[in-house]
Amino acid sequence: QNIHLVAKWLSSLEKKLEQHSEGSHQDFRVFISAEPAPSPDSHIIPQGILENSIKITNEAPTGMHANLHKALDNFNQDTLEMCTRENEFKSILFALCYFHAVVAERRKFGPQGWNRSYPFNTGDLTISVNVLYNYLDASSKVPYDDLRYLFGEIMYGGHITDDWDRRLCKTYLEEFIKPEMLEGELLLAPGFPLPGNMDYNGYHQYIDDALPPESPYLYGLHPNAEIGFLTQTSEKLFRIVLEMQPRDTSTGEGGVVTREETVKALLEEMLEKLMDEFNIAELMAKVEERTPYVVVAFQECERMNILTTEIKRSLKELDLGLKGELTMTSDMENLQNALFLDTVPESWIKRAYPSTASLGTWFADLLTRIKELEAWTGDFSLPSAVWLAGFFNPQSFLTAIMQSTARKNEWPLDKMTLQCDVTKKSREDFASPPREGAYVHGLFMEGARWDAQTGIITDARLKELTPAMPVIFIKAIPADKQDTRSMYPCPVYKTRQRGPTYVWTFNLKTRENPSKWVLAGVALLLQI
């Protein structure tokens, strides 16, 4: 609707309400429903209406308990009786309610829950139940595959835009909706079996009696997922409080350290620590053969130059502004604020790599990345263990492994894949790179941990949120030679924000069903 027309109408409504406030029927009431405005300039409900009204908000339920009851509330005893295949229909309907509650509430775990946030709604659930009724009515056997496909790829999957989220949605349905559900041995969560045949109120009662207390286990996640999500929420809150602080900080004794002094000290320290840009022409002259690895090294140097040039330019400009030799612009103000609040400035972020770090940590990390590049471009021989997180573009390095192996063995590149063998060693244990492929270090696992002794994924330890991985040996092999049995295809992301920071998929050995790690949101991270 046109917001200006609505605003105009609301002000005339306000006048009408004033006219009718006297002399009208004592039971006369006006009901208005509204939704949260996307931005402050859409806050158009007149103050007079707000002040005179009783406001009732309808908050979405939180926790599995409330969500499961609410999912079931969309139906009644008549729904349960409408299908002749009563047993199958009721079992799948209850499993769908649990699935609906899980996918809606899993959002609260941030990127470890879902890579992106989706608007799942009750319509998805009620339409799925209609589809279930029509399919059961029309066939003699329960078409489990068709049902899962319709629910997971169309009804709920229609909202999903990320491939890993699609895999998660599909895995939940494979766990919840399968032939075993009619044999009374299906667990929807640890300690919560799928109930047998009951009436409508019986199901509500069953939820109250049998559902374990709220915990990440109800979603297939490890308890660490909650610690991570709560830590991030509180960090966000403290960051907002910090940003609201008055701009000057006094240090008692009448001495005041001004913002300018704080920023100036930081600025000088950064300029002093930044090295010169990489001299690409000089480096090119040193190289005999432009191997795939050398090409990656040059690309990285170019990107690093773009970033460090901008850092120096903006810092020098701000320095002149603080000295009064240049007029302060809004860009300089923003840079000054960022330095003062220990956040990475906007113009640097644009030219850098994804990162969730504060400025101090980010800058130290930047210097380490430059050192790694300097060491590599010193003689262009591959480091004995490569720090994968140190690249602007880790994909290009992983692709280079395939390209150089393909050239060496004269294999077609499109028929190749990477094999990851997790070693039992750390980077100090390697003195030289492997004959083919590369050793990479500096990865972390979230959602589980790697057991170096047995060489498989295993349950995380409590409070160890992102345990470090040993060095991984990565080499290229023909795709038809890869072993996919007892493997969990594990996504690798640059940061804990996951989603768009996706890099590659590493197959990791597992003794347990890979679906366990899918539901637990297990991923490898290049930085934490």
Which superfamily is assigned to 384-527 in CATH?
A: Dynein motor C sequence, barrel region (3.10.490.20)
pLDDT at res. 143: 92
Q: How far apart are CA 166 and CA 149, in angstroms?
A: 11
Q: What is the predicted pLDDT for the residue at 257? A: 66
Determine the pLDDT at residue 136.
92
Contact assessment for residue 377 and residue 281, using Cβ atoms and an 8 Å cutoff: no
* Domain 258-381 and domain 384-527 have a common topology: no
Q: Which pLDDT value is given to residue 247?
A: 63
Supply the pTM of this predicted model. 0.86
For 98, the token pair is: 């649990």
Q: How far apart are CA 33 and CA 172, in angstroms?
A: 35
Q: What is the pLDDT of residue 140?
A: 85
The HSE-up count of residue 224 (CA atoms within 13 Å, CB side) is: 19
The separation between CA 243 and the C-alpha centre of its own chain, rounded to angstroms, equals: 25
Q: Give the whole-angstrom CA distance, residue 376 versus residue 300.
A: 11
pLDDT score of 248: 57
Distance, CA of 266 to CA of 261 (rounded, Å): 9
Q: Can you give the residue ranges of every domain in the chain?
A: 3-52, 64-223, 258-381, 384-527
What's the pLDDT score for residue 178?
Answer: 93
CA distance 100 to 124: 8
pLDDT tens string, the chain, 528 residues long: the values are: 566 778 788 888 888 888 887 888 888 888 888 877 767 777 788 888 888 888 888 777 788 999 999 999 999 999 999 998 989 999 999 999 999 999 999 998 999 999 999 989 999 999 999 999 999 988 888 999 999 999 999 999 999 999 999 999 999 999 999 998 888 789 999 999 999 999 999 999 999 999 999 999 999 999 999 998 888 889 889 988 887 877 655 444 555 567 888 899 999 999 999 988 999 999 988 888 889 999 999 999 999 999 999 999 999 999 999 988 999 999 999 999 999 989 999 999 999 999 989 999 999 999 999 999 999 998 888 899 999 999 999 999 999 999 999 888 888 888 899 999 999 999 899 999 999 999 999 999 999 999 999 999 999 999 999 999 999 999 999 988 888 889 999 999 999 999 999 999 999 999 999 999 999 999 999 998
Task: List Cα–Cα distances, 251 to 22, 263, 306, in angstroms.
Answer: 60, 16, 38
Q: Are 162 and 499 in contact (CB under 8 A)?
A: yes
> Which of these, 272, 270, 277, lies nearest to 344 by C-alpha position?
270
| Structure tokens, 336 | 């000054």
Which parts of 323-358 fold into alpha helices (H)? Answer: 330-341, 346-351
User: Is the Cβ–Cβ distance between 132 and 142 less than 8 Å?
Assistant: no
Cβ atoms < 10 Å from Cβ of 329: 12
d(CA 123, CA 199): 23
The arrangement of secondary structure in 258-381, i.e. its CATH architecture, is Up-down Bundle (1.20)
**Residue at 272: amino acid letter:** E
Q: CB 328: neighbour CB atoms within 10 A? A: 14
CA atoms of 449 and 508, how far apart (whole Å): 11
* 142, 450, 515 from 145: Cα distances, Å: 9, 33, 17
Among 158, 89, 155, smallest CA distance to 124 is for 155
CATH topology of domain 64-223: Helicase, Ruva Protein; domain 3 (1.10.8)
